[in-house]
Amino acid sequence: MLPDPTERLRFRRMRMTDLDDVTALLVAFDPMRGERPPSTRDDGVRWIEWQERNHAEHGFGLWVVETHDGAFVGDCGLTVQDVEGAPHVEVGYHLLPATRGHGYATEAARSVRDCAAAHGVDHLVALVRPDNAPSQRVARRLGMDVERTAHVHGGDALVFGMHLGRP
């Protein structure tokens, strides 16, 4: 399972050789993760190992998103998230600061959404912090609506969701 390339982006499995880029991505994402110590290379290793487990267990995870010339943009993909005791397939997207504001998150997430639908996912969510307006806009551009607020990963999140039709 791999999302189709888009006009500007392509996807590939995350690997340990991505550690520097993944660590930079996590550090950039730290302000959205709440009251936690800053991310480290060890966190980057754990993030990559988590993706390896996701792919082994579910057949999907977060993929590296890069331009067609190989420049690292961020990650985007599918993970199973526990939302107050219930598992949900989430589309997640995280971009390096320099790549934000160019429509990459929406472009990548649309391809991931379509991949999820093609592989039988019937309900897709995005968990977004209430103060993260850019991620909320991406979720809305995917066709998602706020279904509820939930306490996840140590804080409140808006649970955007949508039902996917069969292709």
Q: Which two tokens stand for residue 99?
A: 């790549």
Q: Letter for the amino acid at 127?
A: L
Structure tokens at 102: 């160019």
C-alpha torsion sign, points 14, 83, 122, 112: negative
> Residue 140 in contact with residue 110, Cβ under 8 Å?
no
What is the mean pLDDT for each group of 10 consecutive residues in the chain (167 residues)? 96 97 87 65 94 96 97 97 94 94 97 95 95 94 96 90 79
Residues in the chain, total: 167
pLDDT of residue 36: 61
